[in-house]
Structure 1
Amino acid sequence: MAERDAIAGASPHQPMGWAWYGLGVVVLASVIGSLIGKGLIALVAESVKQSIKLTDSQLGLITGLALTFVTALAAIPVGWLADRADRRWVLAICVLIWSAATVGLGLSTTFSGLFLFAMGIAVGEAVLGPITYSMIPDLFPRERWVVANLIFVTATLLGTYVGMALGGTLFGYVAANAASLPASLAGLEPWRNTLILAALSGPILIVLILLMRLKRITRVPRSGERVEGVIEYFQTNARTAIGIFFGFGMSYAAFGAQGQWSMVVLQRVFNEKPADIGQFLGVAGGVAAIAGVGMAWLAVRFLSPRFGEGTPMRVSLGAMIVALIVSLPIPFARNADQFYAIILAKICFTFMANSLSPTVLQAMAPAHMRGRVVAIGGTVTIIFGSFMPWLVGAISDGLFPGQNGILYAMASVAIPGLLCGILFLAWGLATLADTIARASGVRHNAEPA
């Protein structure tokens, strides 16, 4: 990609109207991807287990390994494309893949079929991290990154939890009105119809993506300066990268493992219904998540004069510590209300931390390799995330086979995982300021994507 001198006085970013439209489309893509890949599949997981006669280990392989490990394999090539190709087409193709795979998942009748199509959904979702985190710095100037990221996270959270509520409502409606569905769907189980109907959002999203206008922010080296490569970047910033990637990766994976199995716990241990779970968490979970994002914004505003660009990382670390504390009572929950209270508190503080992770990643990555750096960091997260749900299922099958065993298995994975994430984040924080300084000491230029 050619690198050109910046035109004096020219803004490298889109007019704000197109910037907000682009952010809105990326939010919508993230919402639909999260709804299908995490929320909706988690919501129907227990129904799938009963329908296909799966073990907890098999269910963990589908919701963990198939949905996340394949994303790890695809993320780095996608990150490479995000730095070079038209991101709109990359995103549109991935939406097409995950929509088709969701329909296939809804029609599968075997474990191997479920695993295969879950892998297809994962391939489609691989684009979201590298594309999203690369687009926001292209759309908005640096001084607006924190605000744009927090708006993105808030809108995504609100949309995800509203989507979860709609998913629960859709599941309940399909279960109660099977006879009114088209003949091709009327004979299918409710969980199958729920997945198939949810996939219909894909074609609409593709049109919206292709209508976006986007300018790429490329790196302009100073006179005589050599452009740093990815390998050299990671060699120079090894401690920061390992600490931040492993820290966010392990803590996010621990939260994800809890999220994947929480709905199973509520159904199996506390006899809650899928529709009721989706509707309640869709509202209460959304409120808790937005509260966490609001707390993050207030904390960054209050602490920025003291800690500068290291503020988001410090706030994230503090929120992770609180999330660990509120997770400790998980094994002792004795009814659905207690369990709901624990997971809602953890949602609040986990999203307080994770809502600031995009800003940390954007600040530590040079503009010309932002897609690849984010993709590698996402790959680390995904690798942890792919095994933790399976590990919960394996521990449940092997060590805690009773009805309440899944509750203890979930706690035995989520709590140590979050603790390890906190330790890595604290270790990487020591060198983060130097990494940010090196990454930001560059001029930028706009080049059409």
Structure 2
Amino acid sequence: MLPVRTTLVVAWATVFWVGRSEALVRAALAPSTKAGGVGGRTGTNHIFRYPQHCAAVAPSSSTWSRRSALTPGRAAPRRGGLESSSARVSVLSMSGGGTDGGPAGAQDKRNASSPKEGVSKGGVEGDSKVKVPWVSWVSLAMLLLVYISNQWTRSLVYYVQNFDVATTEATAKEFMNVGLGFDETQYGLLASFSFTLLFSTCSLIAGRAVDVVSRKTATVASCLVWSAMAAGTSIANGFPTVFGLRVLQGSAQAFTTPAAYTMISDLFPASVRGTANSIYSSGVYLGGALASLSLLLNGAIGWRDSHLVVAAVGVAVAVLSALLIQEPTREFPTAGEPGAGAGDNTAAKSGDKGGGGAGEESEERESFQEALGIVFKSNTVRLVFLATAFRFCAGFGIGVWCAPFFRGRFPSNSSEYAVLNAFVVAGGGLLSSFLGGVISDKYSVEDPRVRAWVPMAGCILAIPCWIGVVTGTNFYVSLAFLLAEYIAAECWFGGTVTILQEGLPPNVRGVGQGVFSTLSAFGTLAPPLMGYLIQQGGFELQDVLLYTVAAFYAISALFFFFVGESVLADHKRDGKLKEA
């Protein structure tokens, strides 16, 4: 108990100090500024503008504009200099402002006289090249570390079980199911259902919360809570205790992705947003790889101390995140974007006068029910949710049962599996995720359906690869097919999340991301169903994995096809396509 308590006390004290010193840290990281005239222009690097300046210069015809809306009740800075803690540096509007801080009007005229600029022939209106500030990449790196900790903590339970060993003092130390005495059905509940019990509900709450509160605070606090739950697991004395801690862990981790993805949508322009989303989603594979390597850690120090190690890493990541994440100013709809209201056309014009801009005067916060209504109004978003639900079923089925399958089918290769599977998950997942985001960003300019075609193709190609995994009679052949399956299948996240972000008004993207995360609850029904079919239905694990995972992939691919057609219809309706 002493190490756990000490860790939590030190974490609390550190984060308290970080919160008190946050303004000083931000001042050290922020670019230097000079006092400006009306609108608070900076006199330095042209990448940055104060929020009210961006509102003043952002043209209503801009494809992507960082017109900011400050949190209600917070005043915008009137002069140059460092902003208050609620207002962050913003990326320069892509079509507003000269490259050396000159007037925006000349650039606007150039844009107006060149309507083809930023649009490919026969393609989609897109972003011009824009330099993303380094603070955005630093924040993305920290969000990635948080997500790695999230997935490592979440997936560790998959690798500390073994149902094919006798009960001894040594196996009780090494394997959780032996030490606490539970069976395959209970494991299926522990690995998926217990986590989802509050995760699904809290994802909706988290989605709404990150639309109205500090996303950085939500990220740091949730990381500390799930680390505390991991530390508590190390001293658990029975299945009910571990189950309860797993439930609380799921409720904390529900806040991670809604906060991160909405920050990413504000930190990066649409032209690179798919790539940024893919980089962030690679945390699934890096965290999963660390969990796989934990088989070696588990064999050396036992499952209890392994959980303590993971908890300590989570606390360290939370502290670093509190220091280095720079929460961006929230992006609200501009004219021509989804959700733009009547007041949006004048918001840009009034930025110099009111100081608060659209955020205080024009933008009223919707109720939770209204926000959900906006989210589900879009046919594209509804189809994304359906495709995602079945894709989660395939992913969770593989994630929960792949390690027990390999351990049972190839018992003499357990140590090799720990290392090689880490390479498969990290290498194959990272490569697929990154390439999926880059391809969807590059070719969606020509055809917006590409963002949906990439995950559709990934699901289709994954089916024969997965068949090779479960039917292979050689350990290395099965593992080679597993690598191919990861490379094929894991390209889906970046483009899918970008479709979701672009299909919703920025002020309800948190709720949309919360619904997206909640769909993992549907996915986590697959592992206990598989466990039931194995234990009560008398089916072999090999047959259950073969048919269920392949079916989930096929259904998801079908819905992703419909997503692509809906995206194309949206672009035609909104006039975003340019005829050849």
Q: One fold, TM greater than 0.5?
A: yes
Within 5 Å, which residues of 2 pair with 1:229-378? Answer: 229-237=370-378, 239-272=379-412, 275-297=415-437, 299-300=439-440, 303-307=443-447, 309-378=448-517
Is contact 1:261-1:389 (8 Å) kept? Answer: yes
Percent of aligned pairs with the same residue? 18
Q: Quick one: distance in 2 between partners of 1:244 and 1:326? A: 24
Q: Quick one: distance in 1 between partners of 2:272 and 2:442? A: 16
Deviations 1:39-98 (A, max 9, x none): x21111322223323221111001010123421111010011110001111111211211
Q: Quick one: distance in 1 between partners of 2:574 and 2:197? A: 29
1:172 alignment counterpart: 299
Q: Quick one: distance in 2 between partners of 1:326 and 1:44? A: 26
Aligned-pair CA distance for 1:161:
5.1
Is contact 1:165-1:283 (8 Å) kept? Answer: no
Q: Quick one: distance in 2 between partners of 1:434 and 1:210? A: 42
Aligned-pair CA distance for 1:425:
2.2
113-122 or 75-84: which moved more? Answer: 113-122
Is contact 2:275-2:494 (8 Å) kept? Answer: no
Paired amino acid for 2:300: Y
Aligned-pair CA distance for 1:223:
3.7
Q: Quick one: distance in 2 between partners of 1:438 and 1:100? A: 49
Paired amino acid for 2:525: F
User: Is residue 57 of structure 2 the alignment partner of residue 8 of structure 1?
Assistant: yes
Is contact 1:61-1:390 (8 Å) kept? Answer: yes
User: Is residue 526 of structure 2 the alignment partner of residue 409 of structure 1?
Assistant: no
277-286 or 162-171: which moved more? Answer: 162-171
Q: Quick one: distance in 2 between partners of 1:329 and 1:398? A: 26
Within 5 Å, which residues of 2 pair with 1:23-422? Answer: 23-38=140-155, 40-46=156-162, 47-154=175-282, 156=283, 159-160=286-287, 162-164=289-291, 166-174=293-301, 190-211=302-323, 212-220=325-333, 221-224=340-343, 229-237=370-378, 239-272=379-412, 275-297=415-437, 299-300=439-440, 303-307=443-447, 309-380=448-519, 382-400=520-538, 405-422=540-557
Q: CA RMSD in A?
A: 2.8
How many residues are paired up? 416
Aligned-pair CA distance for 1:302:
6.0
Aligned-pair CA distance for 1:435:
4.8
1:183 alignment counterpart: none
Consecutive unaligned residues in structure 1, runs of 5 or more: 175-189, 442-449
Consecutive unaligned residues in structure 2, runs of 5 or more: 1-50, 59-64, 69-89, 92-131, 163-174, 334-339, 345-362
Whichever of the two has the greater Rg, that structure is 2
Secondary structure at the aligned position of 2:329 is classed as: strand
Q: Quick one: distance in 2 between partners of 1:160 and 1:203? A: 15
In structure 2, the CA distance between the partners of 1:162 and 1:62, relative to structure 1 (3 Å rule), is: closer
Secondary structure at the aligned position of 1:334 is classed as: coil
Which gives a bigger RCO, structure 1 or 2 (Cα 8 Å, sep 6+)?
Answer: 1
Deviations 1:315-343 (A, max 9, x none): 11111111123223454232422332232
1:447 alignment counterpart: none
Deviations 1:103-128 (A, max 9, x none): 22222232211211111221121012
Is contact 2:432-2:487 (8 Å) kept? Answer: yes
Aligned-pair CA distance for 1:203:
1.9
Deviations 1:284-332 (A, max 9, x none): 332222332354256436633431x332111111111111232234542
Aligned-pair CA distance for 1:273:
5.9
Is contact 2:397-2:549 (8 Å) kept? Answer: yes
Q: Quick one: distance in 1 between partners of 2:503 and 2:575? A: 8
Paired amino acid for 2:374: Y
In structure 2, the CA distance between the partners of 1:313 and 1:120, relative to structure 1 (3 Å rule), is: same
TM-score (norm 2): 0.66
